[in-house]
Amino acid sequence: MKRLPLIFGALAVTLFAAGCSSPVKLDDKSDVPIESRTPTPAGAGGAAQGAGQSQVTTVNVDKSATTSVARIVYFDYDSYVVKDEFRPLIESQAKRLAANRNQRATIEGHTDERGGREYNLALGQKRAEAVLKSLTLLGVADTQLEAVSFGKERPAVQGSDEAAWAKNRRAELKDR
């Protein structure tokens, strides 16, 4: 199994979720313990307040149940069909989840920036549900999964061209 990437990814995603304004760079990781003076437990909300440079938020990797590595399925414009190229990803994830009934996962659907926020939220939901359905057809229990949507509210990439849009039309599978 991909142990190391998983843990590292969890760390990066947790830092991001803790309120940094941009994804954590690999180089920054080493700075975290060195600068630590007044560690704040994760979840205390300290980092979300926009703390100064001395502030360090302790990341508890054990607790990062909601922030494991994302597995991403990309979609065509205005489509929620899971393309064949993502079959291997879906199959391997289905196998993994079916083998561990206690593992729960969230599938987050996303759209590109074009169109209304609410309609895009519903489109993203459709994408997430398409992935959910693919997984359940391969033996994952429905109760292990939740499909949710962020619509166009959380783009992976900034930009208003097809390259950015293509990266944003996606569904992310995240363990929790």
Partner 1 sequence: MVGGRDFDVGHSREHYRGALLHGDGPAHAYNARDLTARIAPDSMPLPTTLASRRRLCVALTSCVALPAWAQFRVEISGVGATQLPVAIARFRDEDKAGPNAALSAIIRADLERSGQFRNLDVAAAFDETSQPSMSEWRGRGADAFVAGSVSRLADGRWDVRYKLWDVVKGQDLGGQSLAVVTADLRLAAHRVADAVYERLTGDKGVFATRIAYVTRAANRYTLRITDADGEGGQVALTSVEAIISPAWSPDGHELAYVSFESQKAVVWVQDVASGQRRQVANFRGSNSAPTWSPDGRQLVLSLSRDGGTQLYSMGRDGGALKRLTQSNAIDTEAVFAPDGRTLYFVSDRGGGPQVYRMPASGGNAERVTFAGAYNISPAVSPDGRTLAYVARLGGGAFRLHTMDLAGGNVLALTDTNDDESPSFAPNGKLIIYASRAQGRDVLMTSTLDGRIKTRLLSSGLDVREPVWGPFNR
**Would you tell me which residues interact with partner 1 (CB under 8 A)?**
19, 21, 48, 50, 66, 106, 114-119, 121-123, 125-126, 129, 146-151, 153-154
Strand pairing category for 145-151 and 105-110? parallel
Q: By C-beta, is 69 or 121 nearer to partner 1? A: 121
- DSSP 8-state secondary structure symbol assigned to residue 50: -
Q: By C-beta, is 95 or 154 nearer to partner 1? A: 154
Q: By C-beta, is 77 or 99 nearer to partner 1? A: 77
Max CA pair span of the chain: 50
Contact 127, 110 (CB under 8 A): yes
Least Å distance, CB 36 to partner 1, is 22
Q: How far is CA 18 from CA 1, 44, 86, in A?
A: 27, 10, 30
Please name the residue ranges forming H helices in the chain.
3-17, 31-34, 87-99, 117-137, 162-168
Least Å distance, CB 88 to partner 1, is 26
Q: By C-beta, is 35 or 153 nearer to partner 1? A: 153
Least Å distance, CB 166 to partner 1, is 16
Least Å distance, CB 136 to partner 1, is 11
